[in-house]
Amino acid sequence: MTAMPAWLARAASEALRRFGPLLALLLMAAALSLLSEHFLTLDNLLNVFRQSAVNALLALGQLTVIITAGIDLSVGSLLGLSCVLAAMALKAGVPSAAAVLLALATGAVLGALNGILFTKLRLPHPFIPTLGMMNVARGLALVLTGGFPISELPSPFRFWGAGAVAGIPMPVIVVLFFCVLFHLFLTRTTPGRDLYAIGGNRQAALLCGVPVDRRLILAYSLSGLMAGAGAVILAGRMNSGFPLAGVGAELDSIAAVIIGGASFFGGVGTVLGTLVGALIMGVLRNGLNLLNVSAYWQTVVIGAVIVAAVWVDVVRQRAAPGR
């Protein structure tokens, strides 16, 4: 143990937890701007935000679930299914606003189903129902489309993913909107606090009168809702509802949450951290693209960053235990 006064160790640990990911992001950005002249241009930064948007949305939902010491493996598939259903509805003449609501509702309802299965069937771990849902939803998306993408979507719908307001891309506005919403929910409301309590000690939360089952269903439903939101953005950007949309997206969302400082064991995690986590991944991918580094190496680097993030968290915990 270093001979540091206890109060300083605690303050440093707290600062690292709150600002560690942000600091890492800024350092990364600084380094990349030195390595590539294109990085720090407005166009490129907008690219980064656009490219990180879907992951950021999914990560907000995943954060909610991870705070409760759970996990949602189905978000990628829910995104794909929502994408497909919205595209099919649009092709059938449904107005864009309704198609957006359909995507959100698909995610929310199937997410709630995940939560219901987990709580009512008393399954030992949310791994089980969300893994099942991952396969079922993906299968449904493929069956409904026969594997073919549904392209050429109407522009009011595409606006969410491809449009801009005053030069700011819509995906960025949508992400910021949901960030504020989730932040307020998690820090200023009782149901939000209950989620942290459940993650901290489920049994104790139950004995304090927290309606644990109801809250868990809410958490998984929110995760599904965000998958639906991600579907709208992605379909807008890609101009197509393709059934394989979102393959692997659940792992990216988990990575963003963990890099952002949340703990797998529950009870810890912030919206700012998650947003920064998603940006770190986006910046890494973008930066490596600009440096012409192959996609395979990008995966290696992201894996290394995840390990580093968890390691920093462990070191921090040892320096000031209990938080």
Partner 1 sequence: MTAPLLELRDIRKSFGGVTALDGVSFQVLPGEVHALVGENGAGKSTLMNIASGVLQPDSGSILWDGQPAPELDPRRARQLGIAFVHQELALVPQLSIAENIYLGRHPTTPRPVVQWRVMLERARQLLAELGRPLDPSLPVSRLSVGEQQLVEIARALAFHARLVIMDEPTAALSEHEVARLFEVIARLKHRGVSVIYITHRLKEIYQTADRVTVLRDGRHVITASVCELPHDTLIRHMVGRAAQDQFPPPAPPPSPTTALRVENFTARGRFHDVSFSVRRGEILGLAGLVGAGRTDLLEALFGAAPADSGRLWIHERPARIRSPLDAIRLGMALVPDDRKAKGLILGAPLIWNVVLPSHRRFLIRSAEERSQTESIARELRIRAVGFDQPASSLSGGNQQKVVLARWLLARASIFLMDEPTRGIDVGAKAEVYELIRRLASGGAAIVLVSSELEEILGLAHRILVMHRGRVAGELPREQATEEAVMRLATGGVA
Partner 2 sequence: MRNRRFISFLLVMLLGGAACSRSAKTKKLDIVLVTKALDSEFWQRLKSGAEQAARQNPEVRLAVLAPEREINIDQQVAILEDQILKRVAALAVAPAGVAEIIPVLEKARAAGIPVLIVDTDIPWPHRAGFVGIDNRLGGRMAAEFIVRAIGGRGKVAVIRGVLGVATQEDRLAGFLDVIQKVPGIHFVGAQPANSERALGMTVMENLLTRHPDLRAVFATNDQMALGAMEAIAARNLTGKIVLVGFDAGREAVRAVLDGRMDAVVAQFPERIGERAIQEAIKAARGQPVEKFVDIGTGLVTRENAHEFLR
Contact residues for partner 1, defined by CB under 8 A? 1, 3-7, 9, 187-191, 193, 196-197, 200-201, 203-211, 267-268, 321-323
Q: State which residue, 68 or 286, has the beta carbon closest to partner 2.
A: 286
Give the DSSP letter of residue 170: H
Q: Amino acid letter at 272?
A: L
Burial level of 47, CB count in 10 A (0-12/13-18/19+)? middle
Residue 323 binding target from partner 1, partner 2, none, CB below 5 to 8 Å by type: partner 1
**How many Cβ atoms from other residues are within 10 Å of residue 143's Cβ?**
11
Assigned token pair, 76: 């990628």
132 binds, among partner 2, partner 1, none (CB under 5 to 8 A by kind): none
Least Cα distance to 126 among 176, 205, 182, 64 occurs for 64
CB of 94 or CB of 312, closer to partner 2: 312
Closest to partner 1 by CB, 86 or 268: 268
| Residue 147: contacted member of partner 2, partner 1, none (CB under 5 to 8 Å, by partner type) | partner 2
* Contact positions with partner 2 (CB under 8 A) in 112-151: 146-149, 151
Looking at beta carbons only, is 74 or 286 nearer to partner 2? 286
Q: At what angle do helices 271-290 and 170-188 cross, to 10 degrees?
A: 150
The pair phi, psi for residue 244, each rounded to 5°, is: -90, 15
Q: Least distance in Å: CB of 1 to partner 1?
A: 8
- The site partner of 268 among partner 1, partner 2, none (C-beta below 5 to 8 Å per kind) is partner 1
Cβ nearer to partner 2, comparing 135 with 151: 151
Strands 150-151 and 240-241 come out as antiparallel
DSSP state of 41: S
234 binds, among partner 1, partner 2, none (CB under 5 to 8 A by kind): partner 2
Distance from the first to the final alpha carbon of the chain = 17
- Contact partner, 26, from partner 2, partner 1, none, Cβ < 5-8 Å per class: none
Cβ burial of 152 (10 Å; 0-12, 13-18, 19+) is: exposed
Q: Are residues 236 and 158 in contact, defined by beta-carbon separation less than 8 angstroms?
A: yes
Radius of gyration of the chain (CA): 20
Binders of partner 2 in range 22-51 (CB under 8 A): 23-24, 27-28, 31-32, 35-38, 41, 43-44, 47, 50-51
Rank residues 112 and 245 by Cβ distance to partner 2 and give the closer one: 245
Distance CA 319, CA 6 (A): 9
Distance of CA 223 to the CA centre of its chain: 8
What is the smallest separation between the CB atom of 198 and partner 1, expressed in angstroms?
Answer: 9
Total site size for partner 2, rule CB under 8 A: 57
Q: Which residues bind partner 2 (CB under 8 A)?
A: 12, 16, 20, 23-24, 27-28, 31-32, 35-38, 41, 43-44, 47, 50-51, 54, 146-149, 151-152, 162, 234, 237-240, 242, 244-245, 247-248, 285-296, 299, 301, 304, 308, 312, 315-316, 319
